[in-house]
Amino acid sequence: MAEQILKVEYSDIMQKSYIDYSMSVITDRAVPDIRDGLKPVQRRVLYDMNQLGVHHDSDTLKSARICGDTMGKYHPHGDASIYETMVVLAQDFKRNCPLVIGQGNFGSIEGDGAAAQRYTEAKLAKITDEVFLKDLDKSVDFVPNYDEKLKEPVVLPARIPNFLLNGSEGIAVGMATSVPSHNLGEICDLIAAYIKNPSLSVKQMMKYLKGPDFPTGGIIANMSELKSIYETGTGKLKLRGKIEFEPAKKASGKDKLVVTEIPYTMVGNIRGFMAEVQALCEDKKILDITDMYNHSNEEGVRLVMELKKGANVEKLINLLYKKTKLENTFGVNMLAIVEGRPETMTLKSIMASYVKFQYELIQRKYKNLLDTEEERKEIQEGLIAAVDMIDAIIAMLRSSKTRAEAKACLKTGDLKNIKMKDKTLAKVVKKFSFTDRQAEAILSMPLYKLIGLELDALIEDNKETLAKIKEYKSILKSKDKADELILADVAKIKKEYARPRRTQFEDAEEIVIEEEPVQEIEVYYLQDKFGYCKLIDTATYERNKETVETEFKYVIKTTNLDKIALFTSKGMMYQIKLEQVPLCKIRDKGTPVDNLSKFSSSDDEVLYVTSAKLPKGYILFASKEGLVKLVETIEYETNQKAVAATKLNDGDSLVSVVFCTGKEDIILQTKDNYFLRYDMSEVSVLKKNTKGIKGINIGDDDSLKAAYAFPKKDNGATAQLGGEKFIRLSEIPYGTRATKGKKQK
């Protein structure tokens, strides 16, 4: 065959490929099917466990075996995702009704991960066996698996709307699903009401389904917005943990605040909440908590906060809700796959889809049962008829040479190849007209079926079969009968598996914290050569003035409401609010500036530290390559935590950052001890986002070491430049910018 080259538009191919990929992620991975509320990987795990026989009344099986079997047969996407799926299906703090029973370490509500799959075991939960997998072979379609060697179900025959029961979370391409879980008993009540009256409004539905019910309990604080969420399928739930006040039992004891339930959004992040409370205490925003510890166990969450005497409990509770994850938002987006397409579901459309699916399951199930009973009826009628003419059948069989010959005679009565001696029986044989299935059953009929009692039993079985056929036909023809089956099934499920609601509702007012203004006081900002910073009050400074000036690289008199600016060798300026810097004793270590700002000391160096309230003047920048410039201080008035202070060439870095008025002399010093001095007026005033101009002519293998600004009146003074010996400034002659300068011995 000759090679054929097709020319196509690249953008068209990319667009089609991306759309195909997106739809694959949406429908085959991230978004659940509205019928069983499961994603493909969840469905495959449960089906594989069913095939392995790991039922609720059997022994558990190694998780690694289940994951490996699922991956090899149905889901070839890696065992890590399969195991994670199975773990979540078993976690009662993430699922209202866990569909898997786990044995071993399956993680904790505090954020501990599950043990490796080789250590844990699992089996199906009872509700999974009885509500999700029952009648699997009778009621749903099966499709080839990924390599077309096996079959897997398109959907599980779930008899409850699992989309509501256990909720779902998933991120696809361009869309996401986030569905809260609900109470099983309320779902069953809603189904019963909806079956009886499908025209129920959302408001009427909410008399039965009060709202989401999270496995962690907690409080939904915006109850009035639930109706809108159920009408549109989208919205936000304001979740709160539950806090209880426990007064001291003894006079010497302490009052306590105890978190007994957490918002669902805090699952796995209890340590983060405790860290938030600790940070608020350290920042003096919470003053009434003296200690905090975690007493959570298998019985539930218990986070205990010990209080000072006379603590304002109501204010403290409001502060915890406002400033920590104890109050959080759960975004609702009830996206599901409906008939192969993603669709945002309302409560009415969820119920409509559920009932439609149940009718389909009933039709499939009872059609299969009817077909089975019709076959049984056909065989039973054939056997009953055969017993009445058993003599003729036996005579025919004795005269036949092969089984095929005998079977053909039973179906047609043809005796062309069969010679029967008894003409009377031959006349009976010629009237045979059994069906193929009946003929096969007769040929396979054991002799004991000729016993009278066995015949009576066969007749009774036939009566039962006829009754079942009548019943199944009536179910298939009658919507009312189907409704009765659904209602009876739902009532049984509710009785067996329903539990009391955990999550409560209220319409809480927005919490407003009126924070008392921080009193402004004079402090000293200290920063040592290792980058640790702290504040001390003026009295401490006065008592330890000599020690402070000796041990700390930067000592700045300021106020606790001011900000500090750090200029670095990479040409950046970082700001730190002094509210964040701890007020310490003189011997306290302090806090690294890395922890209080975006500055990182691993690849940068602080060159200049000053109050962010810079006086009117200029900042002198000098770089390793000998470039200099002046920038007006007004350009650094900003609220941003990090800004570019100047622009540098690739590979260049700053060596000096100096505040000046612009009327000083500038002195530049190179590593080879060349000094150049000239009037600051020769240095250009530029914008902060520009590079500098040439300040000194640097020789080969030399670079600028430092830059200084000295008032002209200090010409007779001596200075220790660059850590070298003291030099009298008058010994450094004036020169011209961009020249080499003079080498000092």
- The C-alpha angle with vertex 600 and arms to 594 and 601, in degrees rounded to 5, equals 90
Q: Measure the CA–CA gap between 729 and 258, rounded to whole angstroms.
A: 69
Neighbouring residues of 39: CB distance < 8 A, sequence distance ≥ 6: 29, 30, 31, 32, 33, 85, 168, 170
| Distance between CA atoms of residues 222 and 236, nearest Å | 9
Amino acid identity, position 23: M
Which of these is catalytic: 119, 448, 636, 678? 119
Taking alpha carbons only, the member of 665, 646, 642, 644 closest to residue 655 is 646
DSSP state letter for 129: I
Helices (H) and strands (E) in the chain, counts: 22, 35
Rounded distance between C-alpha atoms, residue 673 and residue 745, angstroms: 8
**H-type helices in 221-346, by residue range?**
226-232, 270-282, 313-323
Smallest CA-to-CA distance from 141 within 43, 55, 72 is with: 43
The whole-angstrom distance between residue 303's C-alpha and the CA centroid of its chain comes to: 23
361 closest CA partner among 152, 48, 32, 131: 131
Angular region, 386: left φ>0, alpha ψ -120 to 50, beta rest:
alpha
Q: Count CB neighbours of 79 within 10 A.
A: 17
Whether 119 is a known active-site residue: answer: yes
**Contact, 582 vs 535, CB < 8 A?**
yes
DSSP alpha helix (H) spans, 208-312: 226-232, 270-282
The continuous run of DSSP H or E covering 429 comes out as: helix 423-429
Nearest to 33 by CA among 489, 361, 345: 345
Q: How far apart are alpha carbons 313 and 542 in whole angstroms?
A: 40
Measure the CA–CA gap between 375 and 465, rounded to whole angstroms. 10
3-class DSSP state of 675: strand
User: How deeply is 503 buried, as exposed, middle or buried, from its count of CB atoms within 10 A (0-12, 13-18, 19+)?
Assistant: buried
3-state SS class at 481:
helix
Residues 33/345, Cβ–Cβ less than 8 Å = no
Locate the DSSP E strands across 156-255: 168-171, 176-179, 219-220, 234-240, 242-246
With beta carbons less than 8 A apart as the criterion, state whether 698 and 725 touch: no
Nearest of 500, 505, 499 to residue 242 by alpha carbon: 505
How big, in percent rounded to 5, are the helix, strand and coil portions of the chain?
40, 25, 40
Question: Any idea which residue has 């192969």 for tokens?
Answer: 340
User: Backbone phi, then psi, for 368, in 5-degree steps?
Assistant: -65, -40
**What are the E-state strand segments in 442-571?**
504-505, 522-527, 532-537, 554-559, 563-568
Token pair 């490996």 in the structure block, residue = 68
| Residue in 649, 645, 672 with CA at minimum distance from that of residue 659 | 645
CA distance 114 to 546: 57
Cβ partners under 8 Å of residue 488, min gap 6: none
Residues with active-site annotation:
119
